[in-house]
Amino acid sequence: MAAPAQAIPRHVAIIMDGNGRWAKERGLPRIKGHEQGAQAVRACVEGCGDLRIEYLTLYAFSAENWQRPRAEVMALMRLLERFLKEKTPELLEKNVRLQAIGRLTDLPGACQRQLHKSIEQTAGNNGLTLILALSYGGRLEIIDGIKSLLHEIELGHIDRAMIDVEMFSKHLYTRYYPDPDLLIRTSGEMRISNFLLWQLSYTEMYVTPKLWPDFGKEDLFAAVEEFSQRQRRYGGV
């Protein structure tokens, strides 16, 4: 299947679900599913580059994921650190700019340092912007946005009468990026799992039964092809 030729979304967001199930089906430890999922990230980034998509946001680690067994969480943090270290040269080669959203200070120190290093190293790239949602929760983001607005009001920088949708959006983690045009969720689950609650208001959704480690370029192209067939009305007629 060839890459779609038109109606390309500017911003794609993905809920990468199914790593654990993929490993379980093969009698492997859950971390093996996460490792294979990291390879799917590589294929998806390449596919977005082929399509000239501007932004790709990946739900890499939710705020709720901290509740998982400590051994799994620590293994995921080590995987994240290794992924960033190993893939940054490739991001540089492919002109990909790395960014991150979420409560990043919750991450272990080594992860934070490598993340900031990778972000700095790729800051000059002007191709695809890859945004990792880490220790991220949509409700937490909205709460943090409210706190930020209240702080501005207390300082006298704004008046509460000035608050509207546009101003509130500027106090969210995603203030530098456009809202997603297309949300992809793997593993067939029909929910958004506390991901980009504010930003997904008019986003087109595409759900595939494929588990994330099996998701490849052709699957991305299929999602974009379906997106190109839809009519987006934004509440209009």
In a domain, 26, yes or no: yes
Q: What are phi and psi of 15, to 5 degrees?
A: -95, 105
Q: Say what the pLDDT of residue 237 is.
A: 57
In a domain, 212, yes or no: yes
Q: Say what the pLDDT of residue 4 is.
A: 45
In a domain, 160, yes or no: no
33-78 tens-digit pLDDT:
999 999 999 999 999 999 999 999 999 999 999 999 999 999 999 9
Return d(Cα 188, Cα 211) in angstroms, integer: 8
Token pair recorded at residue 95: 């002109």
In a domain, 4, yes or no: no
In a domain, 155, yes or no: no
Residue ranges, the chain, pLDDT below 70? 1-6, 236-237
Residues 6+ apart with CB under 8 A from 120: none
Token pair recorded at residue 74: 């620590």
189-209 tens-digit pLDDT:
999 999 999 999 999 999 999
Question: Cβ-count burial of 179 within 10 angstroms (0-12 exposed, 13-18 middle, 19+ buried)?
Answer: middle
Return d(Cα 235, Cα 237) in angstroms, integer: 7
C-alpha dist (Å) from residue 90 to 13, 26, 52, 213, 221? 21, 30, 17, 20, 22
The CATH number that applies at residue 213 is 3.40.1180.10
Percent of the chain with pLDDT over 90: 94
The domain of 113 spans 11-137+180-228
C-alpha dist (Å) from residue 7 to 42, 46, 199? 23, 19, 20
The structure's pTM equals 0.94
In a domain, 162, yes or no: no
- β-sheet bridge partners, residue 132: 58, 100
In a domain, 169, yes or no: no
Which residues are catalytic, by number? Answer: 17, 65
Indicate the number of domains in the chain: 1
| Angle, CA of 202, 208 and 212, to the nearest 5° | 105
In a domain, 237, yes or no: no
Return d(Cα 209, Cα 145) in angstroms, integer: 34
